């Protein structure tokens, strides 16, 4: 099952999965990362663009809790479903993406 977590709720999700060393997987394109990025706070942050994920799936641990992030939450939802289909069982979609992150967690993150 894919958890749906708003950026404001991410800290709680991370705490529930703390033993598994949670990961935030940013699936946006490199130009988007240059435009707006999040700071890793209580989690590891890995950036793999959605289009590269099938080729780079082995870089991720299917036993590790993984929360997916994109611009508004649609690409990350597709990635979360892809991860679930490939044996990942602790997956979350960060609903609202980095846009909501800017409103709910860190107003210093630019909008685009």
Q: Positive or negative, the Cα torsion across 45, 47, 53, 58?
A: negative
The overall longest dimension of the chain from CA atoms, in Å, is 35
70 noted as active-site residue: yes
User: Residues 10, 24, 68, 70: which is the catalytic one?
Assistant: 70
What the block records as the tokens of 51 is 């289009």
Active site residues: 70
């Amino acid at each position: 099952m894919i958890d749906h977590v708003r950026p404001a709720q991410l800290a709680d999700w991370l705490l529930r999965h703390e033993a598994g060393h949670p990961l935030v997987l940013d699936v946006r394109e490199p130009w988007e990362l240059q435009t707006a990025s999040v700071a890793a706070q209580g989690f590891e942050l890995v950036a793999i663009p959605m289009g590269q994920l099938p080729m780079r799936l082995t870089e991720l641990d299917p036993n590790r809790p993984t929360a997916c992030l994109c611009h508004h939450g649609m690409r990350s939802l597709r990635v979360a479903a892809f991860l679930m289909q490939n044996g990942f069982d602790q997956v979350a979609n960060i609903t609202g993406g980095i846009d909501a992150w800017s409103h709910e967690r860190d107003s210093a993150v630019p909008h685009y």
